[in-house]
Amino acid sequence: MGLTAETNRIVREFDYSDDQLNQGVSEFLAQMELGLEKDGTSLSQIPTYVTGVPNGTEKGLYLAVDLGGTNFRVCSIQLNGDTTFNLTYSKVAIPRELMTAKTAKELFSFLAKQIEVFLRTHHNEHFEHRMRRRFTFSNPEGFQDEEIFRLGFTFSFPVQQIGINKGILMRWTKGFDIPDAVGKDVCELLQTEIDRLGLPVKVAALVNDTVGTLMARSYTSPGKQGAVLGAIFGTGTNGAYIEKLANIKKNVPGSFDKSTGDMVINTEWGSFDNQLNVLPRTPWDHKLDEDSNNRGFQMFEKRVSGMFLGEILRLTIVDLLKQENIQLFRDANSSHNDWVSTTTVAPESGLFKQWGVDTAIMSVAAADNTPSLGTLRQALEDQLLVYSPSLEDAQAFKAIAEAIGRRAARLSAIAVAAIVLKTGKLNDPSWDGEPVDVGVDGSLVEHYPYFRDMMYEAFKTIEGIGEEGANKIQIGIAKDGSGVGAALIALVATAMEKNQPTPEVLSKQRSSIFSVGRIRWELSRVSWWQWAGVGLLTAFVASRRRDYLFGLWRRYVA
Ligand code: ADP
Ligand code: MG
């Protein structure tokens, strides 16, 4: 069989039909119900505790860190107290060996070190001053309270949250595997390492990225209604949505006010259909799972998110390369190659290593629609050390990459569609013709060409949505909403610690908020309070006083 025929065969294996989509949505809805009934199901459906209030501490420097899976982000927000703030941001890739370190200490000491580097780089004067003060004041912690940087910790792994800055790690995902950390409070793990370095930093709040995204989007979306769902399509995939308390059948420990009738649920949908009732199973999906460190888990995520798509692609390419009679990356004579050269794959190419193909190259493949595929071929050289790939090579690579990307987008549509259907908002007269708003974040949805368009295409074929319903769904990027949200939660948490009075700050006004400068976001008067609102609501998720917050939200926003 020639390269083209074999490529077409592989592409067809990644087809996911309209019928399959509809079965997927039914199954997702059923698994959501199950997760609301009891623990230990595929979809964990974790109740989140949200409290907190902005309280006049609108001056000061707050920190936020975000452990997403691929990168560790550190940012600070200087609240100027005059309606502006400055945001400073840095990002480092997490070394792969730390993801499977022997002890939690190895990872968390690395994170603490990054916080120190960030403070020294961007806030050195402030930092040195605080460190100096540390030795001049002699309280038990070594710092005056006001000398401490408050930090919001966005931690995007399954956590049982038990307080605003307390959460027990349930299990690792996205290639992390540090058994030592499971069952421990991740805030404490980070705080211990921060203290070991003697940094003047307190972990003040813990937040899941999906919840941060939901809250951020609620305030930034253009309509009158808040978002119904916050979703991540980055290294991993997950979503958080607003559920009716009456639908949560399993026990929600702790006392909480039930007056709003709602609670935000963190679905942990990366584990949707671990039993493979409806998810596709190509040989390459199977191989990826077999070789992973959490076999049988996160089966949805393993077909959808950034960490895994490149690996699925790699496995298909490796299969093609094994077939002697298939002409992939091996034109024998320079006349066979329109670059008049012959193709060589370096032995150290990522194609021959597990996780060696970054999903980002799939975006390059999908975006390059030129006749000669010059950009993709250059990327194959630069990133995968395939020298002088022929046009036919690049065409095959592109076709398979697009098939995998398209399947991922259609599977993503299952989760979003099911939740939109569950909210009943598409046909809710009280929704008043407003779009049903969904906030998304993550490199995949942000950068993969037409990812959202392919989701919409899928929505149209889903029963109960159709063309009309699809037009009502509005998916908007809430870029780094989680990071910014976390810093503001730190602010809110600090105010709660100090038991300050609660100003009523939530505004009815929304606007499409912020224009992103590289490091400095100037916000208008209204925007600043909107951000405070984001923090407020996110904090609401993170602790036990959610009742007050949801009350305010309902009254002034919803
Ligand atoms: P995190 O999950 O750590 O918050 P991101 O949202 O940036 O981080 O997602 C990182 C993941 O997205 C990685 O798996 C990476 O391979 C993938 N990715 C990065 N850039 C792109 C791109 N341009 N197109 C598709 N996927 C990308
Ligand atoms: Mg992220």
Residue spans of the domains in the chain: they are: 1-45+221-478, 49-207
φ, ψ of residue 157 to 5 degrees: the values are -135, 160
Measured in whole angstroms, how far is the alpha carbon of residue 297 from the centre of its chain? 18
Sign of CA dihedral 63, 69, 71, 72: positive
CA distance 79 to 90: 18
Strand partners, 88: 76
The token pair at 384 is 């995968």
Strand partners, 477: 440
What DSSP character marks residue 92?
Answer: E
φ, ψ of residue 335 to 5 degrees: the values are -70, -15
Nearest CA to ligand 1 atom 4: 68
CA distance 525 to 367: 39
What's the pLDDT score for residue 515?
22
Neighbours of 136 (CB within 10 A): 7
Cα 532 to ligand 1 centroid, rounded to whole Å: 28
CA distance 77 to 75: 7
Give all strands (DSSP E) within 208-352, no chain letters.
229-233, 237-244, 262-266, 344-345
Cα 139 to ligand 1 centroid, rounded to whole Å: 44
Atom of ligand 1 nearest to the CA of 70: 3
| Sequential pLDDT tens for the chain (558 residues) | 699 999 999 999 999 999 999 999 999 999 999 999 999 999 999 987 653 323 334 456 789 899 988 899 998 877 665 545 567 889 999 999 999 999 999 999 999 999 999 999 998 887 887 777 655 554 545 566 667 888 989 998 999 887 778 899 999 999 999 999 999 999 999 999 999 999 999 998 888 888 878 877 775 665 667 788 999 999 999 999 988 889 999 988 776 667 778 888 999 999 999 999 999 999 999 999 999 989 999 999 999 999 999 999 999 999 999 998 898 998 766 666 776 677 889 999 999 999 999 999 999 999 999 999 999 999 999 999 999 999 999 999 999 999 999 999 999 999 999 999 999 999 998 887 889 999 999 999 999 999 999 999 999 999 999 999 999 999 998 866 666 667 666 766 676 666 543 332 222 222 222 222 222 233 333 344 555 555 555 555 556 555 655 565 565 554
With contact defined as beta carbons under 8 Å apart, do 240 and 419 qualify?
Answer: no
Q: Is 507 exposed, middle or buried (0-12, 13-18, 19+ CB in 10 A)?
A: middle
Torsion of CA 278, 283, 286, 290, to 10 degrees: 170
For residue 362, give the nearest of 321, 410, 309, 316 by alpha carbon. 309
For residue 437, give the nearest of 232, 260, 262, 230 by alpha carbon. 230
Q: Which residues contact 395 (CB under 8 A, 6 or more apart)?
A: 7, 373
CA distance 49 to 253: 10
Catalytic residue numbers read 156, 171, 209
CA distance 16 to 280: 8
Query: Which ligand has an atom closest to residue 237 CA?
Result: 1
CA distance 472 to 542: 30
CA distance 406 to 373: 19
What's the pLDDT score for residue 162?
78
Q: Is 527 exposed, middle or buried (0-12, 13-18, 19+ CB in 10 A)?
A: buried
What's the pLDDT score for residue 250?
93
CA distance 545 to 255: 10
Atom of ligand 1 nearest to the CA of 442: 6
Nearest CA to ligand 1 atom 17: 306
CA distance 365 to 399: 8
Q: Which of 73, 235, 412 to mutate to test the pocket of ligand 1 (most atoms within 8 A of CB)?
A: 235
Question: Starting at the edge strand that comes first in sequence, how are the strands of the sheet with 237-244 ordered?
Answer: 46-47, 262-266, 237-244, 229-233, 436-441, 473-477
Cα 238 to ligand 1 centroid, rounded to whole Å: 14
The token pair at 84 is 């502006």
Atom of ligand 1 nearest to the CA of 363: 24
For residue 402, give the nearest of 345, 355, 448, 440 by alpha carbon. 448
Atom of ligand 1 nearest to the CA of 306: 14
Architecture of domain 49-207: 2-Layer Sandwich (3.30)
Provide the 3-class DSSP secondary structure of residue 141. coil
Ligand 1, residues at Cβ distance < 6 Å: 68-71, 234-235, 306-307, 310, 358-360, 362-363, 442-444, 447-448
With contact defined as beta carbons under 8 Å apart, do 447 and 310 qualify?
Answer: no
Q: Which of 74, 363, 444, 482 to mutate to test the pocket of ligand 1 (most atoms within 8 A of CB)?
A: 444
Backbone Cα Rg of the chain: 24
The token pair at 245 is 């308390």
Percent of the chain that is helix, strand, coil (3-state, to 5): 45, 15, 35
Cα 72 to ligand 2 centroid, rounded to whole Å: 9
Cα 364 to ligand 1 centroid, rounded to whole Å: 13
Atom of ligand 1 nearest to the CA of 359: 16
Architecture of domain 1-45+221-478: 3-Layer(aba) Sandwich (3.40)
Say yes or no: do domains 1-45+221-478 and 49-207 share a fold. no
With contact defined as beta carbons under 8 Å apart, do 247 and 512 qualify?
Answer: no
CA distance 434 to 473: 9
Nearest CA to ligand 1 atom 23: 360
End-to-end CA distance of the chain: 60
Q: What is the largest CA-CA distance in the chain?
A: 78
The token pair at 513 is 């908020």
